[in-house]
Amino acid sequence: MKLAVDSTVELLNGVEMPRLGLGVWRTPAGEDTERAVRAALAAGYRSIDTASLYGNEADVGRAIRSSGIPREQIFVTTKVWNTEQGYDRTLEAFENSLSRLGLDYVDLYLVHWPVKDKYKETYRALETLYEMGKVRAIGVSNFHIHHLEDLMGSCKIKPMVNQVELHPQLTQKPLLAFCNREGIQVESWRPLMQGRLDSPLLKELADKYGKTPAQIVIRWHLQLGLVTIPKSVRAERIAENADVFDFRLSHEDMLRIDGMNEDKRYGQDPDHFVF
Q: Which residues are catalytic?
A: 54
Buried b (16+ CB within 10 A) or exposed e, 221-258: bbbbebbbbbbbbeeebbbbbbbbbeeebeeebeebbe
Q: How many residues does the chain have?
A: 275
CA distances from 17 to 84, 122, 202 (A): 26, 23, 28
Instruction: Say how far apart CA 37 and CA 4 lie, in whole Å.
Output: 19
The DSSP H or E segment spanning 227 is strand 227-228
HSE (side-chain half, CA atoms, 13 Å) at 129:
33
Buried b (16+ CB within 10 A) or exposed e, 101-129: bebebbbbbbbbbbbeebbbebbbbbebb
Nearest to 232 by CA among 188, 200, 191: 191
Backbone angles phi, psi at 26, to 5 degrees: 65, 15
